[in-house]
Amino acid sequence: MAESSETLLETPLASLHSELGGRMVPFAGYSMPVQYAAGIMQEHLHCRAAASLFDVSHMGQAELVGEGAAAALERVTPADVQALKPGRQRYGLLMTEAGGILDDFMVANLGDRLFLVVNASRKHVDLPYIQAALPAGVTLKPLPDRALVALQGPQAVAAIATLAPGIADLTFMGIGSFEIAGVKALVSRSGYTGEDGVEMSVPAEQAERFARALLALPGVQPAGLGARDSLRLEAGLCLYGNDIDETTSPVEAALTWSIGKRRRTEWNFPGAGRVREELANGAKRLRVGIKPEGRQPARGHTPIHAPGGAAIGEITSGGFGPTLNGPMAMGYVAPEHAADGTALDLMVRGKALAARVAPTPFVPHRYAR
Amino acid sequence: MSETKFTKDHEWVRLEGGVATVGITDHAQNALGDVVFVDLPDVGRTVAAGEAIAVVESVKAASDVYAPIAGKIVEVNAGLADNPGTINSAPTTDGWFFRIEPADAAEVAALMDEAAYAAFVDTLA
């Protein structure tokens, strides 16, 4: 471990994790539960069957306020922030000048301000980067005193709607404020599992009470980062630092859908030159889903070869999908090997493991659109 | 019934009729979590003590399994291919990994006994 336990930060739910038997591991500078007593497999399957509670308080939350906040944010992202209606949230990318991905993030229009959620491992990079791009009159306000929890699964919204019925009226990527178990929560109908569900920002000092109220709802069980990772990979969603980073472009990462249509006529975001060039002439590599044949998983950094041939790429995330009931991965390959069904060799411990390019998600999304 | 011996890599070893059966301990399976795949050595392979010769894959990660003693692989647990979960449910019985014909049976005797292994695990907590 690179970091000693003394230097790790804790979320406001640290004592609850301990009480629930959470197995704590270092993640992005925080001590986080990788799993509880049930184990990753059961926690994963429970989320697909009922509802699971995740502590994601390590993520960075912030507000952007002031006249022209949306236009200001567009100085660092190709997302169409100005078209985002009040009560709606959107996925976006923060871009480097060189056309790499600085981070991926969520932005919501709360009417009088924008609400941002960025990755834990990147918040110390992102927030100064956004700050530096702001004109006078627009202010970035980090929200370190707020916790973030996700309730995910086909029963998640029905369960929480017993405490706040209005949540059931949100559609996918809708956001609003609700009072839940006496706690004022900012609730968005979104998540990182491919399931229906909500992500909720609450004051840190009320987070434990809030989480206990959710765990008391029928069908709700806690789930750790291990299940979060296998769920998001089945859903085909990128993990920053694995699947996308400052070297990958939105075109390579197959995330061009997050670039607003208007932004593709203006080309006024960082790295627009590279994106434009790759859209016109093709990228040198593409992110694809990959299904190994058989049962053996291929993990991140596994070399990808053409069958019996040369290296053509690398796995960036790989594991076993409990719902898929088989191994799955994503990675980058040269464009001529990126079509669905293309045969690949994954070089696992020096031996070729046969695999094919496969469409993602591996498990269909079940969002409330 | 032969005495079960243990290694610091959390394997158990049971010598019966001149052949050592090897698996991973309950502590190890609990730390790994749900096992989804096992890569076992070829029968007939000669292995050195401490050599990584098998891989156990959980949902989360891949981990090496080491030869606890030098010798020759004479059998592997073919049932694990279809039922890798046996390693979680019965780690010290049906979840065995492979059998080794020891180069030197004294190597088995020199491994930790159950009390010594339990004390070793306690130092890891």
The pLDDT of residue A3 is above 90: no
Over its C-alpha atoms, chain B yields an Rg (Å, rounded) of 13
The pLDDT of residue B2 is above 90: no
Residue located via tokens 């009560």: A87
Residue A331 backbone phi and psi in degrees, to 5: -170, 180
Same-domain status, A61 and A210: yes
Identify the band that residue B60 occupies on the pLDDT scale cut at 50, 70 and 90: confident
* Shortest Cα distance, chain B CAs vs residue A240, angstroms: 17
Locate A113 and state its tokens: 């301000």
Locate A242 and state its tokens: 């694995």
Give dist(CA B70, CA A278) in Å, integer: 55
Section B95-124 average pLDDT? 96
Same-domain status, A20 and A162: yes
Residue A120 backbone phi and psi in degrees, to 5: -55, -45
| Probe site for chain A from B34, B56, B88 (most A CB atoms < 10 A) | B34
Q: Is residue B52 less than 8 Å (CB to CB) from chain A?
A: no
Q: Is residue B89 less than 8 Å (CB to CB) from chain A?
A: no
* Shortest Cα distance, chain A CAs vs residue B93, angstroms: 22
pLDDT score at B44:
98
* Shortest Cα distance, chain B CAs vs residue A4, angstroms: 15
Identify the band that residue B125 occupies on the pLDDT scale cut at 50, 70 and 90: confident
Lowest mean pLDDT among A176-185, A202-211, A285-294, B55-64: B55-64
Same-domain status, A96 and A156: yes
Per the CB < 8 Å rule, is B34 touching A41? yes
Interface predicted TM-score (ipTM): 0.89
Section A163-179 average pLDDT? 98
Q: How many CA atoms lie within 13 A of A330 on its CB side?
A: 26
Which of A170, A202, A235 is a domain's end point?
A235
Locate B117 and state its tokens: 């292994």
pLDDT tens digits for range A324-362: 999 999 999 999 999 999 999 999 999 999 999 999 999
- Side chain identity at A223, as an amino acid letter? A
* Shortest Cα distance, chain B CAs vs residue A342, angstroms: 24
Average pLDDT in chain B: 96
Residue located via tokens 């336990």: A5
**B91 Cα distance to chain centroid:** 9
A327: number of Cβ within 10 Å: 26
Residues with Cβ within 8 Å of A342's Cβ and at least 6 positions away in sequence, in order, are: A333, A356, A357
Which of A196, A213, A235 is a domain's end point?
A235
**Residue A276 domain-assigned?**
no
A300: number of Cβ within 10 Å: 17
Section A249-256 average pLDDT? 98
Same-domain status, A182 and A293: no
Locate A177 and state its tokens: 């404020």
Locate B102 and state its tokens: 């020891």
**Residue A19 domain-assigned?**
yes
Pairing of strands A303-305, A88-95: unpaired
The total of structural domains in chain A comes to: 2
Same-domain status, A82 and A186: yes
CA-nearest residue to A229 within chain B is B60
Per the CB < 8 Å rule, is B60 touching A34? yes
Q: How many CA atoms lie within 13 A of A65 on its CB side?
A: 6
Locate A150 and state its tokens: 């996700």
Q: How many CA atoms lie within 13 A of A267 on its CB side?
A: 8
**End-to-end C-alpha distance for chain A, whole angstroms:** 41
**Residue A368 domain-assigned?**
no
**Residue A322 domain-assigned?**
yes
Per the CB < 8 Å rule, is A40 touching B36? no
Size of chain B, expressed as the number of residues it contains: 125
**The domain that contains A342 carries what CATH number?**
2.40.30.110
Residues with Cβ within 8 Å of B83's Cβ and at least 6 positions away in sequence, in order, are: none
Q: What is the DSSP letter of A70?
A: H
Residue located via tokens 């004022």: A184
Which residue range(s) make up the domain with A325?
284-358
| Probe site for chain B from A228, A315, A320 (most B CB atoms < 10 A) | A320
Facing A40 at nearest CB: one of B59, B81, B84:
B59
* Shortest Cα distance, chain A CAs vs residue B12, angstroms: 23
Give dist(CA A118, CA A62) in Å, integer: 8
Kindly report whether the peptide bond that precedes residue A12 is cis, defined as omega within 30 degrees of 0. Answer: no
Q: What is the DSSP letter of A89?
A: E
pLDDT score at A2:
46
User: Which domains, and CATH codes, for chain B?
Assistant: 4-120 (2.40.50.100)
Facing B59 at nearest CB: one of A41, A295, A349:
A41
| Probe site for chain A from B36, B58, B82 (most A CB atoms < 10 A) | B36
pLDDT tens digits for range A89-139: 999 999 999 999 999 999 999 999 999 999 999 999 999 999 999 999 999
Do A223 and A215 contact (CB within 8 A), yes or no?
A: no
Question: How many percent of chain B have pLDDT more than 70?
Answer: 99
pLDDT score at B17:
93
**Phi-psi category of A41—alpha, beta or left, where left has phi over 0 and alpha has psi -120 to 50?**
alpha
Do B4 and B14 contact (CB within 8 A), yes or no?
A: yes
Same-domain status, A199 and A336: no
pLDDT score at A6:
61
Section A25-53 average pLDDT? 97
The pLDDT of residue A1 is above 80: no
Same-domain status, A186 and A48: yes
Question: How many percent of chain A have pLDDT more than 70?
Answer: 98
Give dist(CA A332, CA A288) in Å, integer: 6
**Residue A152 domain-assigned?**
yes
Q: Is residue B79 less than 8 Å (CB to CB) from chain A?
A: no
Q: What is the DSSP letter of A174?
A: B
Give dist(CA A268, CA A314) in Å, integer: 32
Facing A40 at nearest CB: one of B39, B60, B62:
B60
The pLDDT of residue A246 is above 80: yes
Please provide the DSSP assignment of chain B as one string.
Answer: -PPEEE-TTSEEEEEETTEEEEEE-HHHHHHH-SEEEEE-PPTT-EE-TT-EEEEEEESS-EEEEE-SS-EEEEEE-GGGTT-TTHHHHSTTTTT--EEEEES-THHHHTSB-HHHHHHHHHHH-
pLDDT tens digits for range A6-23: 689 999 999 999 999 999
Identify the band that residue A5 occupies on the pLDDT scale cut at 50, 70 and 90: low
Locate B113 and state its tokens: 């006994």
More confident residue, B99 or A2: B99
Question: How many percent of chain A have pLDDT more than 90?
Answer: 98
Same-domain status, A186 and A52: yes
**The domain that contains A82 carries what CATH number?**
3.30.1360.120
